């Protein structure tokens, strides 16, 4: 079982590796589009990465309401069956 903390660190790692986001700019409340300059094309790459991390299929609806980094972490945790 992956802890919420581990998921968060993974998300931060993906954001900095793939999208050149400065790690120090990232917090749970950072908004993907407004604060981190993640556009809709990046979002697809992000979902692909998270899919391989979670080892689960991610449906298009699972990330519909995602706005912030915290939302991403929550969505992944939910997929993994964490509470």
For residues 28 and 39, which CB has a smaller minimum distance to other proteins in the complex?
A: 39
Distances in Å between the alpha carbon of 12 and those of 9, 18, 69, 73? 5, 10, 8, 10
Report in angstroms how near the CB of residue 66 gets to other proteins at its nearest. Answer: 14
Asked whether the beta carbons of 76 and 13 are under 8 A apart, the reply is no
Torsion angle of C-alpha atoms 48, 63, 9, 4, degrees rounded to 10: -130
Report in angstroms how near the CB of residue 45 gets to other proteins at its nearest. Answer: 5
Sites of contact with other proteins (CB under 8 A): 18-20, 39-45
For residues 42 and 71, which CB has a smaller minimum distance to other proteins in the complex?
A: 42
Report in angstroms how near the CB of residue 81 gets to other proteins at its nearest. Answer: 27
């Amino acid at each position: 079982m992956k802890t919420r903390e581990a998921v968060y660190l993974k998300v931060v790692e993906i954001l900095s590796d793939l999208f050149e986001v400065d790690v120090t700019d990232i917090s749970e409340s950072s908004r993907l589009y407004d604060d981190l300059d993640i556009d809709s094309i990046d979002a697809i790459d992000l979902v692909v990465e998270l899919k391989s991390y979670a080892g689960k299929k991610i449906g298009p609806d699972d990330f519909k309401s995602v706005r912030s980094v915290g939302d991403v972490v929550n969505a992944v945790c939910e997929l993994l069956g964490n509470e």
